[in-house]
Copies of this chain bind each other. A is one copy, B any other.
Amino acid sequence: MTAHMAVSPPSSHPALPPMPSGGTWPAGSTDEPEAISFRAPGTVQHFAPDRQIFADGEASEHFYRVVSGVVRACKYLSDGRRQIEAFYVAGDMFGLEADTRHSLTTEAVNDATVVSYRRNAVEAAARKDAALSAQLMSATMRALGHARNHSLVLNRRCAAEKLASFLIECAARTFDEDTILLPMTRQDIADYLGLTIETVSRTMTQMERDRLIALSNTRQVHLRNRSALEDLVT
């Protein structure tokens, strides 16, 4: 249950798209403000765009933290469709599981660097250290909050509401609160919001027409009328 690359053939680092690596981003989840602290040093790894970090169903022996770049967590359905659960950015933790197996596939969106920690080591440390344990709990709770909120977004009536909530989510994590550099493709956005690529495209165009946003290029969005966007989300 692996081979399922939706977009492009994974391979080494030949010619990488010039993506904003570690710049701006969207939709985080298990973000931990202060780094988890335990002795075991993590292993640093790099992943080229679309390279898989771990697959749904694989044994869950590590957990991860994003250093730079963006990672997506998704589920592939039997009909070939893909549902993106979350995008993780610098500082976000991912890969902690209840089960011994992963329940999601994770892949690099752009050129990404992550640190991995051995699950056993973390769990052992957590058993001895109530503070670490509380941190992990808190991170999991935040992931739960994100997942529930995502359900709400997926359930929104119209495409504009979904897209507005996505853009605001992205903007909330940007330095310049009103200019977003999207590291992901329209397909990624569509799979995150439960829409088709065409609807995402059309809705963006319409938002530009309505002066809600401005698109310098396809990956750079400027929020022109944030309050109107926020009204859509409510």
Q: A residues touching B (Cβ–Cβ < 8 Å)?
A: 75, 77-79, 83, 85, 96-99, 103-104, 126-128, 130, 133-134, 136-138, 140-145, 147-148, 150-152, 154-155, 194, 234
Contacts and interface: CB of A to CB of B under 8 A. Distances in A.
Contacts of A155: 83, 154, 194
A75 B147 contact: no
Given A85-B148, A103-B148, 15 more contacts: A75-B152, A77-B152, A77-B234, A85-B151, A98-B142, A98-B144, A103-B145, A130-B133, A133-B133, A137-B137, A140-B140, A143-B144, A144-B144, A154-B155, A155-B194
A194 B194 CA distance: 13
Q: How many copies does the complex hold?
A: 2
Contacts of A194: 154-155
Nearest to A136: B137
Contacts of A143: 144
Contacts of A78: 234
A83 B151 contact: yes
A134 B125 CA distance: 12
22 contacts: A77-B152, A77-B234, A98-B138, A98-B141, A98-B142, A98-B144, A98-B145, A99-B145, A104-B148, A126-B133, A127-B130, A127-B134, A128-B130, A130-B133, A133-B133, A133-B137, A136-B137, A140-B141, A147-B148, A151-B154, A154-B154, A155-B194
Tell me what chain A mostly uses at the interface: helix, strand, loop, or mixed. helix
A77 B78 CA distance: 33
Contacts of A140: 137, 140-141, 144
A97 B147 CA distance: 14
Nearest to A143: B144
| A-B pairs with lowest CB-CB distance, top 10 | A98-B141, A147-B147, A155-B194, A78-B234, A127-B130, A154-B154, A144-B144, A151-B151, A140-B140, A133-B133
